[in-house]
Amino acid sequence: MTANAWRSLPLGDGMTADEPSEEICAAFRAVFTSTGEPADMAVFTRHESGSLHCEVIAYFSPSAAGLAMLFEAEPCERPSRSGLGLLAGNEVCWAVLFPESE
């Protein structure tokens, strides 16, 4: 994986994902503001099937890699847009990060 890789982090099931989600949002706001609010910086979440239950996975865009590394997120492929929700970032990130969906 290159430095331009997406990163992912399991946040737990739907009931326990709120706390790490809030921590990511708080850290994101500080980084996002200090870097000039880049349109390609975002964190998304999606509920995915796990072995026993649904798990919430956070996906950090490549420009959020520094933040992702603070949370020890692992490199991954770019997620498909289907089922993603924007956890942190500007709405314009959809068009920037998923232009084929427009």
What confidence tens digit (pLDDT) does each residue in 28-72 have?
999 999 999 999 999 999 988 866 678 899 999 999 999 999 999
DSSP secondary structure letters along 18-45: HHHHHHHHHHHHHHHHHTT--TT-EEEE
What lies within 8 Å, CB to CB, of 87 at 6+ separation is: 21, 24, 25, 28, 42, 43, 44, 45, 58
- pLDDT, position 102: 54
Task: Report how far residue 58's alpha carbon sits from residue 76's, in angstroms, rounded to the nearest whole number.
Answer: 11
Task: Report how far residue 77's alpha carbon sits from residue 30's, in angstroms, rounded to the nearest whole number.
Answer: 26
Query: pTM above 0.85?
Result: yes
Map out the domains of the chain as residue ranges: 6-101
